[in-house]
Amino acid sequence: MHRSTPAPIPHRPSDAPPSRLCRPEEIADTLGCSAWWVKDRARRRLIPHTRVGRAYRFTAEHLAEIIRLYEERPAQPAQIAARASEPLSGPVTQTGSAPRRRPAVAPATRLRARPPRRQQQYSTVA
């Protein structure tokens, strides 16, 4: 008696295997940074990630999005023109080096130290 095999079911997108989940250490190796940086950014919800229990996991799509988030683009022509009008930081030296541009600095604010939290901790008993 000859048995017939069931016909293969057509492939559906929902049947695709789930994407591989990477650990923060693997993402850090790929990005050339520390695993602490990856976990810190995920904890602060600054980069896309998946949580499995208490662990952070990342897909290939997450990695691509992280790279896009931290990508730096060349300056636009309007930004280049604005930099050209910035004041120079001093006279040109005789060595022929190009003058440096002064970076934009925010107005200085006066910082004050906070009082210590525990004042009685280090008191001496005579």
Query: Domain span at residue 42?
Result: 19-69
The tally of domains found in the chain comes to 1
Residue at 111 is within a domain:
no
Residue at 82 is within a domain:
no
Residue at 109 is within a domain:
no
Residue at 108 is within a domain:
no
Average pLDDT over residues 65-74: 91
- Tell me the backbone φ, ψ of residue 57, rounded to 5 degrees: -135, 155
- Higher-pLDDT residue of 64, 90: 64
The CA distance from 24 to 36, in Å, is 8
Residue at 64 is within a domain:
yes
Question: Which pLDDT score is estimated for 59?
Answer: 95
- Of all residues in the chain, the percent with pLDDT exceeding 70 is 57
pLDDT band at 53 (very low <50, low <70, confident <90, very high): very high
* Backbone angle region of 120, left / alpha / beta, with phi > 0 → left and psi within -120 to 50 → alpha: alpha
